Structure 1
Amino acid sequence: MRSSLVNKISIISHGLRFDLDMFESSAERYYENTYGYCITNRGAQRRHRLPQVLLLGDELVVSVLRRDNSPWTLRYDGDELNLYYDGEWRQSVGLPEALPFFGKTLTDGVRTDDVISAYGAVTPGFFLYPDCHYFDKGAQCRFCSLRAARSTIAKPLVTDFPRRRIMEATRHIQNSGWHIPMITNTTGTPVDDEDIRHTILEPLKAIHDACDPKIKMHLLTHPPQDFSIIEEFKRVGVSSIAFNIEIYDRKLFSSICPGKDRLYGYDKWWDALAYARDVFGDYQVYCGIIWGLEPVESSMEGMEDILDRRIGLATNVFHADPGTAMARRPQPSVADITALAEYEGKLYRKYPDAGTIYDVSMRNTIDWEVHNGYLE
């Protein structure tokens, strides 16, 4: 396994220790975390200017997760940013390049930084309808810090995406000179299908209409009650879609994702995935599961079941975010992450038509690394 991936797995498992204010006075321009959909770091404020990811080399990035008891330390030695493990130097790291479509002001006075989201280090997109009605019922997913983030550190971010605003922001993205392989859109969970049409479908159509030339659009969302909306997603320009079930084990799904279980249903979730696969095609529909929230064997079974259904696999590694019911749950061990990664590698060989959503390394998953042979 490449040393950069060894370090990434360990950092995802343990997090990093560093002073919150270590970046405040930095003159370097880099992509700073806007916390669009999770808090990740206890006590962090915008003024701390924390990067969303670190560059590990070998085209790998890793999430900046501040954890007080981590054996990993991040610190500046002069102008060089270094990683230490139990006091021993491991490697120098870089900061993600500042995104050229940030720092602009739209005609309605809103900053692009507060409209556009960015995933990993390079992939732009939007977080449409940044809320989830399961919180109102006390039935939110137990690992989710979306509402806590949006009511605190991410409060400056916009919540409304009228057509003019989103088209203008999309043109800033496309005219920035940045290589844009796709625009990726994440959503919260509206109350009903009519809200989906208004808060998600309409902005998606605006993004598609603004793109010239057209580019791929990925959508991560909650499946609708009326499956015909999945066809509407495709008609407005979505080229791939993900419905993340998160937990494969049925009983654990019920306890960890109570809203999804009671108000939508485990079996209906799989039905929605199958319907979407028939609309978008084999392996153009993705299902995400989270490593570390169920036994390793259950995650392995779930990964294989997903791929065997001709659905793409999307994994994430659990991180214990402040403001959630699982804030004190241990993150998965290096051994468990490594075992799951090795099994995922076998599955990619068994299902060669399956790929990853992104063609780049992402911050809290190693799907791309596994698919591209970094374990070998």
Structure 2
Amino acid sequence: MSLKCKLYEEVRLKNEVTVEGINITDEVDLLLRNLDLGGKYQEEVHGMFEYDREPHAGIAHPVGFRSPNGFLFPFNSYRKSRFSIGYDKGSYILTENGNKVFDIDFLERPEYYRHTTSDGVQMKNIAVYNHEGVVFVTYSNECHLKEKGLDCLYCNINATKSTYADVEGIKWKYPKQIAETVKLAYEEPGRHHVTLTGGFVPEHREMDYYFDVAEAIQNETGLNDFNGTAVIGAPEDHGIIDRYKEAGYRTLAINIELWDKNIFKAICPGKEQLSGGWENWKSSLEHAAKVFGHGRVRSNIVAGLEPKRSTLEGVEYLASKGIVCFAGAWCPNPGSELENHRSPEPEWHWDLVMKMSEIFRKNGFTYDQLYDCSASANSCIHDIYRIEHGLLPVLKQAI
């Protein structure tokens, strides 16, 4: 088997682990308690969503691990998974049905996690580190759609806040706190990018807050272009979108969530009723692409909630307009209305990933564009781009 084929098989396995999760048995729980989480290794911080199938308030989990060839695997627990963690000859290992797959390295904690803001808040609670130089800020850990009874059915942002906010000390983030954290995070080696997101709020309140954060980051870092993505709701006044670019955001994200209009209406009642409906989300994305440019606008579809044909139709259409639309595997989040449902099989998601990668390449999206507009640079599509463009150390050594 060629090196390239081996790398693809490793990414395919990553897709399986992402969908199926990690089985934390009692033995694995003991192993993890001996891991230096919060010291050498990075602990999970619930800034926005809980992706583990069972909440674990007060029990630390690692955020993920690296495979032998450097691919980052998420660590989402699910007691029915065939994948688990073991220990063999002084190394942690990934296992499948009790058999060793390969050695793994848990992800090391970034330096800025050891620091606090000037008003005494731990920086890890301001911006989660997604590795590859990417930081992720959830400024608000709740969505006001809850009080209206209009939550998206797959979403558990409010349930996550109820479970973890007090235990982990997660609260509203202020612009100065975010700016101080981003400045220190940007001192870490590698590329740098920040995503700012939160629960659903009225568009003018959201806009004013995002502009304050952009100004604070610019003042703190000295960077006019700080490579930031603002994740916003679809505004009914499309002129608001232009102002985000003027404020200094390099990229914009408007997450349409579903391409099928009728399924969107059923699954995302708040986005349907309070933001002009599906057509306004689509037209907002199209306007944003004209303002920010090709490959500088991102959207997302929750993969597995609608037929694959519909998702691919949306990805293809949006790509033709210069919009990067990811479709991450749906996780039936605990606390959501769809808790304990099933995501499609890993093979379904892998086929989707391969077809999306082809669409992205056909429409001329570069790795730099995917990096700049993404909340994480560690999706399977990012990995495929790394393989195809020789960006992995193992490929550089082979040349």
Give the alignment's TM-score, normalised by structure 2.
0.86
* Structure 2: distance between partners of 1:162 and 1:65: 29
What is residue 220 of structure 2 aligned with on the other side? Answer: 210
What is residue 300 of structure 2 aligned with on the other side? Answer: 288
Query: CA-to-partner distance for each residue in 1:57-85, whole Å, 9 max, x for gaps?
Result: 33311221111111112123364111111
Shift of 1:137: 1.4
Q: Does structure 1 retain, via aligned residues, the 8 Å contact 2:194–2:375? A: no
What is residue 179 of structure 2 aligned with on the other side? Answer: 167
Deviates more, 1:353-362 or 1:220-229: 353-362
What is residue 370 of structure 2 aligned with on the other side? Answer: 357
Shift of 1:249: 0.9
Q: Where do residues 54-133 of structure 1 align in structure 2 (5 Å cutoff)?
A: 54-77=65-88, 79-119=90-130, 122-133=133-144
Change (3 A) 1:42 1:341: closer
Instruction: Pick one of 18, 28, 33 that aligns with 1:12.
Output: 18
For 2:281, the aligned partner's letter is W
* Structure 1: distance between partners of 2:125 and 2:113: 9
Q: Which has the higher helix share?
A: 2
What is residue 321 of structure 1 aligned with on the other side? Answer: 333
What is residue 3 of structure 1 aligned with on the other side? Answer: 9
Change (3 A) 1:50 1:351: same
Change (3 A) 1:251 1:373: farther
Q: Does structure 2 retain, via aligned residues, the 8 Å contact 1:34–1:154? A: no
* Structure 2: distance between partners of 1:193 and 1:331: 32
Shift of 1:43: 4.3
What is residue 34 of structure 2 aligned with on the other side? Answer: 25
SS of 2:198's partner is: strand
What is residue 207 of structure 2 aligned with on the other side? Answer: 197
Tell me if 1:368 matches 2:382.
Answer: yes
What is residue 309 of structure 1 aligned with on the other side? Answer: 321
What is the percent sequence identity of the aligned residues?
Answer: 21
Deviates more, 1:6-15 or 1:54-63: 54-63
For 1:172, the aligned partner's letter is L
Q: Does structure 2 retain, via aligned residues, the 8 Å contact 1:193–1:226? A: no
Tell me if 1:268 matches 2:277.
Answer: no
Change (3 A) 1:252 1:373: farther
Shift of 1:42: 4.2
Q: Does structure 1 retain, via aligned residues, the 8 Å contact 2:35–2:41? A: no
* Structure 2: distance between partners of 1:319 and 1:374: 28
Q: Does structure 1 retain, via aligned residues, the 8 Å contact 2:114–2:123? A: yes
What is residue 263 of structure 2 aligned with on the other side? Answer: 252
* Structure 2: distance between partners of 1:242 and 1:99: 26
Shift of 1:16: 1.2
Give the alignment's TM-score, normalised by structure 1.
0.91
SS of 1:235's partner is: helix
Shift of 1:248: 0.8
Query: CA-to-partner distance for each residue in 1:77-129, whole Å, 9 max, x for gaps?
Result: 36411111112211111111211111212221211122122235641131123
What stretches of structure 1 of length at least 5 have no aligned partner?
Answer: none
* Structure 2: distance between partners of 1:260 and 1:122: 31
Q: Does structure 1 retain, via aligned residues, the 8 Å contact 2:134–2:194? A: yes
* Structure 2: distance between partners of 1:128 and 1:163: 9
Q: Does structure 2 retain, via aligned residues, the 8 Å contact 1:16–1:73? A: yes
Shift of 1:194: 2.7
Deviates more, 1:176-185 or 1:295-304: 176-185
What stretches of structure 2 of length at least 5 have no aligned partner?
Answer: 391-399
What is residue 222 of structure 1 aligned with on the other side? Answer: 233
* Structure 1: distance between partners of 2:301 and 2:264: 11
Shift of 1:364: 7.6
Change (3 A) 1:73 1:162: closer
Change (3 A) 1:168 1:369: closer
Query: CA-to-partner distance for each residue in 1:147-192, whole Å, 9 max, x for gaps?
Result: 1111212444443333432332233223x443342122222211x2
Shift of 1:34: 0.2
Deviates more, 1:258-267 or 1:105-114: 105-114
* Structure 2: distance between partners of 1:117 and 1:100: 12
Moved over 6 A (4+): none
Q: Where do residues 136-151 of structure 1 align in structure 2 (5 Å cutoff)?
A: 136-151=147-162
Query: CA-to-partner distance for each residue in 1:273-313, whole Å, 9 max, x for gaps?
Result: 11111111122111111211111111121111111122112
SS of 1:45's partner is: coil
* Structure 2: distance between partners of 1:129 and 1:179: 27
Q: Does structure 1 retain, via aligned residues, the 8 Å contact 2:251–2:296? A: yes
Change (3 A) 1:104 1:349: closer
* Structure 2: distance between partners of 1:375 and 1:261: 39
* Structure 1: distance between partners of 2:327 and 2:51: 18
Q: Does structure 2 retain, via aligned residues, the 8 Å contact 1:320–1:326? A: yes
* Structure 1: distance between partners of 2:279 and 2:54: 39
Query: CA-to-partner distance for each residue in 1:28-48, whole Å, 9 max, x for gaps?
Result: 611111011111224443543
Change (3 A) 1:365 1:123: same
Shift of 1:342: 2.3
